[in-house]
Chain A
Amino acid sequence: MEILKTSMTELKQHIDNGDVSCEAVTSAFLEQTKKHNTELNAYITINENAIEQAHELDKRHKAGEKLGKLGGIPIAVKDLLCTRGIRTTAGSKMLHNFVPPYSSTVTEKMDEEDAIVLGKTNLDEFAMGSSNETSYFGPVKNPWDTTRVPGGSSGGSAAAVAARMAPAAIGTDTGGSIRQPSSFTGIVGVKPTYGRVSRFGITAFASSLDQAGPMANNVKDAALLLEAISGRDGQDATSANLPVPNWVESINTNVAGKTVGLLKECFEDGAMTDEVRKVVDNSLNILKDLGVKFKEVSVPAIDTAVPIYYLIATSEASSNLARYDGVRFGHRANFDEIPAENIAEFYARTRAEGFGEEVKRRIMMGAFSLSSGYYDAYYDKACRVRALLRKQYLEALEGCELLFGPVTTSTAFKIGERIDDPIEMYNNDIFTTGCNLAGLPGMSVPAGFSSEGLPVGVQLIGRHFEEQNLFDFGQALEDELKLSEVPSVL
């Protein structure tokens, strides 16, 4: 068995059967990480205790203990999730030295299921970006073409999974940050229904939009990881009090006779590049051949999704990031030589140094949209349009199992290509932000390649708390497509 080529689900089985030790699995992925991380920059921090933890699990396993759902599986975790005792930077200078005394509920649940945190992956600073270029720790490179971005903000997690530097990873998705990099790197990424996964201990970007989710090499692995991290959490007042289904066991690829909605607006001429269109059409035809019925639906307000998203996300972010003031933790400007005249200067210098350009831009946009005299015209109006958008999505989903369409308008773009054009960068989120604004679950499934050999994913958007449909259709596609290409870096 080649560990690196084996899926997470299978690795878990081999560990359970005693075919391979946890230590061997963790070692293999650590080796791979050592080999490629310098080039790809996927990880910010490697968990130094990973091997030791694997060893401990082996001991328990040998003693006859049945390990948890993720027993012995090393998993990469986006460096936005707090991990007790392991530095958590959020990709920012502001937190370059922050070691949390607590763990996020997601990593806590992973721990309960005997997973090992392999390391903390790179990301756009505070998850603000679509290319992983805003990270204080440098850009991440796409394993399929290292001159290109892996997408963002969960670019490190995506690159790590694509380059087999981890069997699976945790990402977070505020406006597409799991799905877009998954599409750009040819992996499966799921943004669960808002409220499905606890946000406790996940450095907040935009509280009403953020959700953590799995990023994996196949649908089943993603479903398994999501099962492990989902569920009601008393520490997150927005987490849903619903049981977590057995998605993996329930996967049913017989999709014949089921109805899928096609968002009219996503398929308009010029909505996506021809390369992306080709792959999307191919998947559409496969589903047709499987007996799926398609139905044209419409979300007329979708053209407002990106501006609405950037108003709401930046407004919440401007408030969420106020806590980084240098008083209690994180970066503080050096006042030894030039002391601060007053508290305002203390904050200003600390924050000017600690935050990068994109983060500052978003804080300013958000503070503006919430400020007195502008609130009604910006933040409040955005919230009202958001309610409309949600309503239109729910109407579109009436009478169909899910919506099908593209994840992004194009394939992975070149590093540096869009970083100086925020509007162009933001427009990249056109197909993904709707999910977050409406709280719906969405998934990116690898669906093929462009003529340049770059991965392209398709997006499935389900009804609230009906992730099962995503897994059923995703698995059906995966089974039919049988994609076997691996990134050039391997």
Chain B
Amino acid sequence: MSYDDWELVCGLEIHAQLKTKSKMFSPDSGDFGAGDNVNTHPVTLGMPGCLPVPNKQAIEYSVKTGLALNCTIRNTSVFSRKNYYYPDLPKGYQISQFDKPLCEEGFVEFKLGDEKKRVRIERAHMEEDAGKSTHHGEYTLINLNRAGVPLLEIVSRPDIRSAEEAAEYARAVRKILRYIEVCDGNLEEGSMRCDCNVSVRKKGDEKLGTRCEIKNVNSFRFVQKAIEYETQRQIDVLESGGKIVQQTRLYDSAANKTFAMRDKEDAHDYRYFPEPDMLPVELTEEYISKVESTLCELPDARVKRFMAEYELPEYDSLILTQERDLADYYEAVAKASNNPKASSNWIMGELLRELNEHELDYSAIPIKAENFAKLIQLIDNKTISGKIAKTVFQELWKKDQDPEDIVKAKGLVQITDEGAIEKVIDEIINANPGQVEQYRGGKNKLFGFFVGQAMKATKGQANPEIVNKILKSKLDG
């Protein structure tokens, strides 16, 4: 047997923190940045008699997400209590959804290389987050700012067959969450967290193998690496005649290993039961349609539209639609410049390079779309050359302004006056009789030398086409 005889079966549970003003069931803010234990309303602290009141915005965001993930939205969904003791869980139970989750049976589609993949969503349910414990040997500190923050847990079917596919699926979900602006999808800060359910089976087997859950993986790269490691580990165990023990594992990114956190034998009996402090969440079809009408165009649809409307290659469309802000920016530039392909080239080239270099978000592009569009128009109407345009772009990056002003101030206007160019070329020909002779003797490569000289003499401002034309006629003629 070898590695190739085995098949990975994987599903992800993604916890997305919803960007609501207040917590899931209490009026305090869910802002992480606040000082320790600042966002601690009595409801958050689980004080006697304090009651949860569901956050309408969180429900709306959850419905929106469910719709974006192609889920069915339940007209009646029920909050349940998941009972367990932990010091950062103030009430001794987490309010979650159990047998009647808000969203069911959806799917996400994405590209993996050239292949189109579809991962089905089993359910997405609303719940509240716990607080944060930090262990310091003798003692543990608890910060309850995060306790009660609304989460949507998105549970996939075990449709994933490779570690790379898992990471790509997670990226696709993140992209959607960010598009519809319900979650900022920041894995490092924990506003999006991934649990990976991993099992292996022999290729061709119908039956699922025993699974392990890798909890709280905090980057897409680690999702891939953790699953790769865990797959190999499970195959090694099985190949050497062992059995997989169902357990919860953690991923140590420094060692690139997963290790056991707890076995199934230690598993809690959560004693789920319907939350008696709240009535079921009843949503009318009218409400759901209303939320649906607020959905923006989703990434997949946008890729298709970019290809059709702007005649962009799929590659360009995929890159430009990575984030809603970037796609919006592209569209603004493309429309204003009336040159979609050039807009794509400039954004994917110069702009993305600068953004990466300065580690800036797409929401923080320092050049107004209209100015960027003007730059492209200046090339198109031959006011400046493409080369000069790069200089103008650099100026524009430093200070957002009308690119025409830069061109004027710096005297960068392209020289299209044939008489003026001819004069320059005559001077060059006269100054370089040797090269002229060599060229005429068959050294064609020297043509570039003359072009270079002409551009140098005009500080790059001469229209290259005119330079070429005149040079040709003078040298060849």
Binding site for B on A (CB under 8 A): 80-82, 88, 90, 95, 98, 100-102, 104, 199-204, 206-208, 234-238, 315-316, 318-319, 321-323, 325, 327-329, 343-344, 347, 367, 370-372, 375, 379
Contact = CB atoms under 8 A, between A and B. Distances in A.
Interface in B194-233: none
Contacts of B51: 199-200, 235-238
A234 B22 CA distance: 15
Interface in B106-152: 142
B49 A204 contact: yes
Interface residues of B, number: 29
A237 B53 contact: yes
Contacts of B46: 323, 328
Contacts of B259: none
B249 interface: no
A150 to B, nearest CB: 24
The 4 closest A-B pairs by CB, nearest first: A322-B92, A207-B276, A370-B271, A208-B276
Contacts, number: 105
B464 interface: no
Interface string B257-301: 000000000000101110011110000000000000000000000
B386 interface: no
Nearest to A239: B51
B83 to A, nearest CB: 5
6 contacts: A98-B48, A234-B53, A237-B277, A343-B86, A347-B85, A371-B269
B47 interface: yes
A372 B273 contact: no
A101 B49 contact: no
A325 B87 contact: yes
B280 to A, nearest CB: 11
B271 A319 contact: yes
Interface string B85-113: 11100111100000000000000000000
Given A323-B90, A325-B92, A371-B271, A202 B85 contact: no
Contacts of A343: 85-87
B81 interface: yes
Interface in B38-90: 42, 45-54, 81, 83, 85-87, 90
B48 A207 contact: no
A399 B279 CA distance: 29
A340 B11 CA distance: 39
Contact of A81 (B42, B47, B49, B272): B49
Contacts of A236: 51, 53
A238 B278 contact: yes
Contacts of B87: 325, 327, 343
Contacts of A90: 48
A104 B54 contact: no
Nearest to B37: A328
Contacts of B90: 323, 327-328
A217 B51 CA distance: 32
Contacts of B47: 82, 100-102, 323, 328-329
Contacts of B83: 318-319, 322, 370
Contact of A238 (B48, B49, B271, B277): B277
B42 A102 contact: yes
Contacts of B52: 237
Contacts of B48: 82, 88, 90, 95, 98, 100, 201, 203-204, 323
Contacts of B50: 102, 200-201
Contacts of B269: 371-372
A88 B90 CA distance: 19
Contacts of B85: 322, 325, 343-344, 347
A486 B133 CA distance: 58
A401 B278 CA distance: 30
Interface string B324-349: 00000000000000000000000000
Interface in B368-416: none
Contacts of A104: 49
Contacts of B86: 343
A202 to B, nearest CB: 5
